[in-house]
């Protein structure tokens, strides 16, 4: 894998599914990725210290940086999409924040993704947003101790009908509100797949929200497979990133159509290839 304009990270919660999670950092390193990222990798919000040690050891043994890590988001397989807005789950969320920051201290990870949450029927929208703001402030203070940044992202409504931030504008507003409240280390995660699936043109949205973006994830639409497998104009996206001086990571957060290794040709496309940051 050649040098690229931006470091390319493998989301090992989706890529290298052929091997167990703890073997995936090494698999990503063998394929030439610059870094890895992952969703919350534990079964609970408060894993045993041995589980944390195993994760850190796997990353260190692979000699590949962990650049982004999600906080606990509930039972994702059952449809949960984050805990920020849920007063009943605040203790769980904050426990995972402290653990994620600890992992960040040990690995150098400085980006932490906080999924916002699904709409609750028994709590007003205003109360949910205020709870989320309070939890974002807590996470921002915790991450700030190690120079970390909290990421907020939108998820498309077609697949996540109850998620409270369905469009880029919704997530951007949360980021701007955090800034207005004195929390500068909250930023936007630009997820190309969710933006396209929600009806936004990703390149246009990157141009609009570039000053707020601290991290970018790529997957094509439809299908959520490798870039180049669907209809997203990635060249236009990369051109907007370059125009706005993006200095972050391009993270591969897609579901491989077959074996992960067989679908990595997109990284060698002329738009990404050949220029180091």
* Rounded Cα distance, 223 and 230, in Å: 7
Determine the Cα angle at 271 with ends 17 and 212, to 5°: 80
Judge whether 153 counts as a catalytic residue.
Answer: yes
Parallel, antiparallel, or unpaired: how do β-strands 149-152 and 111-113 relate? parallel
Residue 154's H or E segment, with its range, is: none
- Shortest CA distance to 35 belongs to which of 63, 55, 71? 63
Q: Please, which residues have CB within 8 angstroms of residue 167's CB and are 6 or more apart in sequence?
A: 154, 198, 200
Peptide bond into 223 cis (omega under 30): no
DSSP assignment of 23-45: GHHHHHHHTT-SEEEES--SSSS
Question: Choosing from 18, 105, 153, 226, which is the catalytic residue?
Answer: 153
- Per-residue CA distances from 162 to 39, 74, 79, 175, 182 (Å): 20, 14, 10, 20, 29
Distance from C-alpha of 263 to C-alpha of 259, rounded to nearest angstrom: 7
Is 253 annotated as catalytic?
yes
Asked if residue 152 lies in contact with residue 171, where contact means CB atoms within 8 angstroms, the answer is: yes
Q: Which of 37, 226, 240, 253 is flagged as catalytic? A: 253
Going by their DSSP bridges, the two strands 213-218 and 111-113 should be labelled as unpaired
Catalytically active residues, by annotation: 153, 253
């Amino acid at each position: 894998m050649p040098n690229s304009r931006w470091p390319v990270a493998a989301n090992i919660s989706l890529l290298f599914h052929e091997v167990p999670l703890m073997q995936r950092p090494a698999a990503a390193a063998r394929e030439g990725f610059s870094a890895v990222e992952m969703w919350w990798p534990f079964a609970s919000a408060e894993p045993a210290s041995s589980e944390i040690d195993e994760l850190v050891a796997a990353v260190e043994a692979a000699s590949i940086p962990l650049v982004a890590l999600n906080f606990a988001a509930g039972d994702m397989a059952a449809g949960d999409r984050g805990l920020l807005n849920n007063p009943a789950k605040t203790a769980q969320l904050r426990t995972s924040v402290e653990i994620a920051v600890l992992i960040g201290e040990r690995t150098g990870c400085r980006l932490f993704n906080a999924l916002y949450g699904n709409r609750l029927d028994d709590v007003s929208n205003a109360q949910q947003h205020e709870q989320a703001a309070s939890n974002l402030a807590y996470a921002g203070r915790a991450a700030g101790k190690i120079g970390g940044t909290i990421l907020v992202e939108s998820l498309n409504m077609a697949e996540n009908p109850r998620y409270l931030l369905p469009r880029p504008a919704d997530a951007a507003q949360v980021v701007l509100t955090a800034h207005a409240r004195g929390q500068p280390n909250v930023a936007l995660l630009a997820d190309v797949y969710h933006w396209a699936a929600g009806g936004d043109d990703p390149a246009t949205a990157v141009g609009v929200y570039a000053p707020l973006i601290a991290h970018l994830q790529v997957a094509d639409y439809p299908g959520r497979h490798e870039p180049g497998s669907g209809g997203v104009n990635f060249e236009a996206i990369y051109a907007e990133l370059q125009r706005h001086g993006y200095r972050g990571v391009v993270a591969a957060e897609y579901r491989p159509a077959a074996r992960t290794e067989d679908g990595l040709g997109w990284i060698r496309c002329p738009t990404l290839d050949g220029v180091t940051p």
